[in-house]
Amino acid sequence: MKAEIFSVGTEILLGEILDTNAKYIATELANIGIDVFYKTSVGDNEKRLLDAIDIAYKRADIIISTGGLGPTDDDLTKETFAKYFNKNLVTDKESLENLKSYYKNDYMPKSNLKQVDMPEGSIALVNENGTASGCIIQENNKIAVILPGPPKECIPMFEKQVKPILQQYTSKVLVSKNLKLCGIGESNACEIIKDLMLSSQNPTIAPYAGNNEVRFRVTASGKTKEEAKELLKPTVEKLYNIFNEYIYGEDEQTLQGAVVDKLIKNNMTISTAESCTGGLLASNIIDVPSASKVFLNGVISYSNESKVYELNVWKEDLEKYGAVSEQVAIQMAEGIREKSNTTIGISTTGIAGPTGETEDKPVGLVYIAISIKGKETVCKKLMLQGDRLKIREKTVNICFSNLLKLI
């Protein structure tokens, strides 16, 4: 079966909110073997929504719609779908009781009552996390799934009430595994496995580029989840054999999570000294729940005076080479490691822009240094492209990529 995802709401078209529902729904539909070829965003306008529904049903069997179920006059998704299918709206008793329960200790505006009116003959989807009930309309071999917009309401409703119904319409199950790589570019990685990607039909291999990392999604289709998993194994093993030195994790694993896991495994601790990244490196490490086992200290050393005072950087080297230099980066990494008494010290110093560049030190010039107790300090010079935030983010990811190789 083919599905089309509708995101209803003028605020989505204006870019005022991020449409996370569509990403979630597309993933879940793929997991149960329902293809999604189109995603449509429509404003709060009856005619345009009717036109979009008509277009969608010429190329899809199912529309999954989110948004436009509120109590105001411009919330008209249910009403418009009812009009398209020529159905009257009737009050759903269970939804009404749920609404009353929601407002049991508060005044309920009469406008909320429209949220429990459903297209006649539809399946009501009671909202356990809000006031707007959804519904499923099945008519003329077409299906409309109408869901509320807030993700905290939409996602649980889809997971608990919609997905079990949709699974009845598909005979295949899709299973995916994501292999995450760092230290190799997307074009290079794809060139290496070009023939494998072209020859793989089930499972398929799809590449995705991230911030200094690459992800290969391997997807297999089977009659059961177990069958699909078995089909995945040979291709996943081939990718591991080819990219073993670059693969840092699978699925939900993050680059910083892989670093923290490896530090824990090797009984190592780490401290950070940051200039151009301004604490972003330490923040990413701390995002990992188990980081407290390995992260001891972080210093944001933005000024030259701070580098001297906090990290024992030589004032003479700052004057001679400048703060953005290999010499200073090395001293920052060694200084934070020694002061914090950690196994590893890592530093960043650079010009993130858009100002501050000189003739010999352009925007994007960054040095990172990694000092490991008992080993020679490693320093890398980077020339990065992008705006201020992108340069800082790329620097952090390159730090993690290099850490994985050294620890």
**Cα separation, 359 vs 119, whole angstroms:** 68
- Tell me the β-bridge partners of 364: none
Residue ending a domain, among 118, 144, 169, is 169
Could you tell me which residues come within 8 angstroms of residue 86 by beta carbon, excluding any fewer than 6 positions away?
Answer: none
Q: Is the pLDDT score of 165 beyond 80?
A: yes
Q: Which tokens hold the place of 128?
A: 């356990």
pLDDT of 266 above 90: yes
pLDDT for 60 beyond 90: yes
CA-closest candidate to residue 281, choices 393, 405, 384: 393
Indicate whether 75 and 189 sit together in one domain: no
**CA nearest neighbour of 396 among 244, 277, 306:** 277
pLDDT at 169: 87
Say if residue 194 is in the same domain as residue 95: no
What is the strand order of the sheet 35-42 is part of? Answer: 35-42, 2-8, 62-66, 142-147, 134-139, 123-125
Are the C-beta atoms of 395 and 350 separated by less than 8 Å? yes
pLDDT of residue 356: 92
Range of the domain at 200: 173-250
**Residue 351 Cα to chain centre, angstroms:** 28
Q: Which tokens hold the place of 135?
A: 């519904």
Does 233 share its domain with 296?
no
- For residue 14, what pLDDT is reported? 92
Q: Is residue 180 located within the same domain as residue 276? A: no
Q: What's the chain's average pLDDT?
A: 95
How far is residue 367's CA from residue 399's CA, in Å, rounded to a whole number?
10
> What pairing do the DSSP bridges indicate for beta strands 270-274 and 344-350?
parallel
Instruction: Look at 406 and 170; give whichever has higher pLDDT.
Output: 406
- The span from the CA of 358 to the CA of 221, in Å, is 55
How many structural domains comprise the chain?
3
Q: Which range, of 135-144, 216-225, 321-330, averages the lowest pLDDT?
A: 216-225
Distance between CA 253 and CA 240 in Å, rounded?
16
Query: Which CATH number belongs to the domain containing residue 13 in this structure?
Result: 3.40.980.10
What's 400's domain CATH number?
3.90.950.20
> Do residue 157 and residue 198 come from a single domain?
no
Residue 365: what pLDDT? 98
User: What type of residue sits at position 176?
Assistant: S
- What the block records as the tokens of 163 is 């997905």
Same domain, residue pair 119 and 135: yes
Confidence (pLDDT) at 33: 85
User: Are residues 400 and 269 located together in one domain of the fold?
Assistant: yes
Judgement on whether residues 208 and 318 belong to the same structural domain of the protein: no
Is residue 164 predicted with pLDDT exceeding 80? Answer: yes
Q: What is the mean pLDDT of residues 348-357?
A: 95
Q: CA distances (Å), 181 to each of 136, 191, 329, in order?
A: 41, 15, 26
Residue 127: per-residue pLDDT: 95
Q: Please write the tens of the pLDDT for every residue from 177-215.
A: 999 999 898 999 999 999 999 999 999 999 998 777 899
Backbone angles phi, psi at 203, to 5 degrees: -85, 165
State the pLDDT confidence band at 339, using cuts at 50, 70 and 90.
very high
pTM of the model: 0.74
Reading the block at residue 40, the tokens are 């449509």
DSSP β-bridge partners for residue 5: 39, 64
Q: What is the CATH number of the domain that holds 238?
A: 3.30.70.2860
Q: What is the pLDDT of residue 320?
A: 97
Q: What is the DSSP string of 123-155?
A: EEE--SSSS--EEEEEETTEEEEEE-SSHHHHH
- What is d(CA 349, CA 302) in angstroms, rounded to the nearest whole number? 9
Instruction: For residues 105 and 211, state if they share a domain.
Output: no
Q: What is the pLDDT of residue 392?
A: 97
Closest CA to 136 of 172, 165, 94, 93: 165
Element (H, E) at 33: none
Rg (alpha carbons) of the chain, rounded to whole number:
27
What proportion of the chain, given as a percentage, has pLDDT over 70? 100
Q: Is the pLDDT at 145 greater than 90, yes or no?
A: yes
The SS3 assignment for 179 reads: strand
Kindly state whether residues 148 and 35 are assigned to the same domain. yes
Final residue belonging to a domain, choices 169, 202, 222: 169
- Asked whether the predicted pLDDT for residue 242 surpasses 80, the reply is yes
| Dihedral (CA of 9, 10, 13, 16) sign | negative
Read off the pLDDT of residues 272-313 as tens digits, 9 standing for 90 and up.
999 999 999 999 999 999 999 999 999 999 999 999 999 999
Tell me what the mean pLDDT of segment 324-349 comes to: 98
Annotate 289-343 with DSSP letters as a single string. Answer: GGGGGTEEEEEE--SHHHHHHHH---HHHHHHH-SSSHHHHHHHHHHHHHHHT-S
Does 144 share its domain with 288? no
Q: What is the pLDDT of residue 31?
A: 82
Identify which has the larger pLDDT, 73 or 266: 266
Domain boundary among 250, 268, 290: 250
Confidence at residue 131, expressed as pLDDT on a 0 to 100 scale: 94
134 and 214, same domain (yes or no): no
